[in-house]
Every structure is written in structure tokens, then in C-alpha cells.
Amino acid sequence: MSDIGPTRFRPGAEAQFAAFKSAASDYVTNLAPEERPGLLEKPLDWGAGHVGYFMAMYQLFHGLQALKLTPGDKLLEVGGGAGWATEIMASLA
């Protein structure tokens, strides 16, 4: 299987995928030095009082509570970010 990405339904997808892959590879390099620490902070919040952090935590815990999970239930989290939500859910077992 080729690593150029999906092409079945989109003509010219190879070029688009190559451009996307290049941009993703260059993302970290193109960050300003003061922005790079944010890659290691989960969730990223540089604001005074860390309002963004507490809002993210509230939303995560509220969403988990709304699921009404019971011990032994399984949860699939399709990651799309830094992985902090997965780490928190794993620690809650």
C-alpha cells in the first residue's frame, strides 16, 4: 500500500495530500519559539487564571457525566488533539 494517502474518490488527491503532509510536517518548525511550549501543555491555556483550562475540564467532565457510564462500561475516544482527554479518562478507569 502506498503512503501517498487516499485517492479513490478524489482526482488530484495525491497533490493535495502531499501539500497537507508537508504543512503538517513543517507546523512545529514554523511556530514562534514562545508558541512551542504549548505543544506539551494539556490543554493549552496561557491566560490569566487559566479560564480555558477550567472550561475544557468542565466540558469534559460534564460530557462524561452525561454519558451515565457504569463500572465496566467501555468508551472509545477518537483522538484529534494532544491526548489530554484520553489520559484523564484512562486515569478514571
DSSP state of 66: H
Q: Is 77 part of a structural domain of the chain?
A: yes
| Full domain range(s) for residue 58 | 40-91
**CA-to-CA distance for 68 and 66, rounded, in angstroms?**
5
Say whether pLDDT at 1 is over 50: no
pLDDT tens figures, 2-51: 555 555 666 777 888 888 888 888 887 888 888 777 676 666 666 777 78
pLDDT tens figures, 38-90: 676 666 666 777 787 788 888 888 988 898 988 888 888 777 777 778 888 88
Q: Are residues 80 and 50 in the same domain?
A: yes
Q: Is 35 part of a structural domain of the chain?
A: no
Domain total for the chain?
A: 2
Q: Are residues 50 and 79 in the same domain?
A: yes
Q: Are residues 22 and 63 in the same domain?
A: no
Q: So what's the pLDDT on residue 6?
A: 57
Q: Are residues 49 and 26 in the same domain?
A: no
Q: What is the pTM for the complete model shown?
A: 0.45
Q: Write the Ramachandran bin of 25: left for phi over 0, alpha for psi from -120 to 50, otherwise beta.
A: alpha
